[in-house]
Amino acid sequence: MFHDVNGGWLPFVGSVCLGVTLGGQTSYTSFGVVTNMSVPAILGTSFIDVATKNIATQEQHVELLNGTKVPILRRRRGTKGRPNTSTSAVCACPEGVAAQLKPAGKTWVQPGTIAHVPVRSTFTGHGLVKGRPPLYHNHGIQVAQGPAIMTAGQPMTIQVMHLGVTPLRLTTDMTIGYIEAHEGPTYEVTKSELEELAWPMKGVKDPPLPEVDVSSVPTEWSGPLEALLKKHASLWEGKLGLIRGVEHRIRLKPGAFPVRQHPYKAGPMAREREKAEVERMRSMEVIEPASGEWASPVVMVPKPDGSVRLCID
C-alpha cells in the first residue's frame, strides 16, 4: 500500500519501467501508474544513484555518469505566482503565461475527500495543470498537477483534493487552477504498450537476493519480507555509492589544535586486508587520497561472513 505526502491512499493499478533520457544518457526508472492522476515525474535519489555523478549547486548543473553537464533551469523572475488571468482568446500560451480553469458546473467538495471535477478553459492544446495557491491557503483545496490535453470550451476532468475542514462549494465563476502551454515532446501510450512496459522488463534479470535465514519468520510475513528484500536488492550487490550534492566543511573553534593519531599496530595479513579494502573503495570512487593535519586510525571489524568492515576510530 502506498500513500502520498498527505497520507492519502494511492490506488496503484500497475508499474512501468521507462527510459529517461537526460543529456544524451538513458537511464531506466520505475514509475507507479494511478488512474485519473497526472503529476510531474520527480527523479529522486534512486535516479541520482544510477545516473548522476555530481550535482553542482553553485555552478547550477548536473553532471551525468557519461560526463555530460546538464544545466539546472530556474523559473523566470516575475512569473512565479503571477499567472496571466486573461481568458479572452484561445491561447497558444507562451512560457510562463497561464489560462484559468473554472468548474463546468456547481459542485460540493467535502473535507478529506478526492473529487474529480470537470473544468473548462479557453486553452487548446497540450498543457500543464497547476493549482491556485490562494485556494489552497484559504480553503485547503489542492489541484493535482500534471500534463493534460484540452480543447477550448470543452470540459476536462481534473483531480481535486480537499485538505481543509469545511465543505466548499465550487461555482462556475471560481478559478480553481491554471493551465500553461507545454511546448516539449509528448507521447501517447496504448494499453497494450503499457503492458509491454510493465516491470519487470523482458530480458532483465532481477539482482540476486541476499542469503537470509527466514526459518523463524512467520508465514504471513514471508511475502512482505521478500518484497522488502527485492525493493532494496541493489544494496546487496556489494557496490558502494555516494551523492555529491553538497560539499561538507567542518568549522573549527578558534584556538583548536589538530588531533593526529598514529595507526594501530597490525600484522602483515591485517595490513594486506586493510590495503585491499582501501583500494576497493578507491576504485569505487567513494574515497580519495587526501593530506591534512588531522588523522584517525583505521579499525578493521570482522563480519559474521568472514569479510571485514572498515571503520575509523
Among residues 64, 159, 177, the alpha carbon closest in space to that of 117 is found at 159
Amino acid sitting at position 280: R
Among residues 163, 165, 166, the alpha carbon closest in space to that of 7 is found at 163
Predicted local distance difference test score (pLDDT) of residue 309: 83
Predicted local distance difference test score (pLDDT) of residue 115: 85
Predicted local distance difference test score (pLDDT) of residue 119: 92
H/E stretch holding 134: helix 133-139
Residues 6+ apart with CB under 8 A from 2: 9, 10, 12, 32
**121 touches 154 (CB < 8 A):** no
Predicted local distance difference test score (pLDDT) of residue 245: 64
| Mode of pairing for the β-strands spanning 107-109 and 168-170 | antiparallel
Among residues 299, 292, 294, 289, the alpha carbon closest in space to that of 264 is found at 299
Torsion 89-93-96-101 (CA) sign = positive
> Looking at 199-306, which runs of residues are DSSP E strands?
298-302
CATH no., domain 98-181: 2.70.40.10
Predicted local distance difference test score (pLDDT) of residue 104: 92
pTM of the model: 0.38
Predicted local distance difference test score (pLDDT) of residue 102: 92
CA–CA gap between residue 313 and residue 266 (Å, rounded): 15
Q: Structural domain boundaries of the chain?
A: 2-74+188-196, 98-181, 268-312
- For the chain, the distance separating the N- and C-terminal CA atoms, rounded to the nearest angstrom, is 42
CA–CA gap between residue 261 and residue 296 (Å, rounded): 5
Backbone φ and ψ of 111, nearest 5°: -60, 140
For the CA atoms of 73, 78, 80, 83, the dihedral, rounded to the nearest 10 degrees, stands at -120
pLDDT in tens, the chain (313 residues): 555 555 556 667 777 777 777 777 777 777 777 766 656 666 666 677 777 777 776 677 788 877 888 877 654 444 444 434 333 333 333 344 678 999 999 988 888 788 888 999 998 888 888 888 888 888 888 888 878 888 888 898 888 888 888 889 999 999 999 998 877 666 667 777 766 666 555 555 666 666 777 788 888 888 888 888 877 776 776 667 776 666 777 888 888 888 888 888 888 888 888 888 888 888 877 888 888 888 889 888 888 877 788 888 8
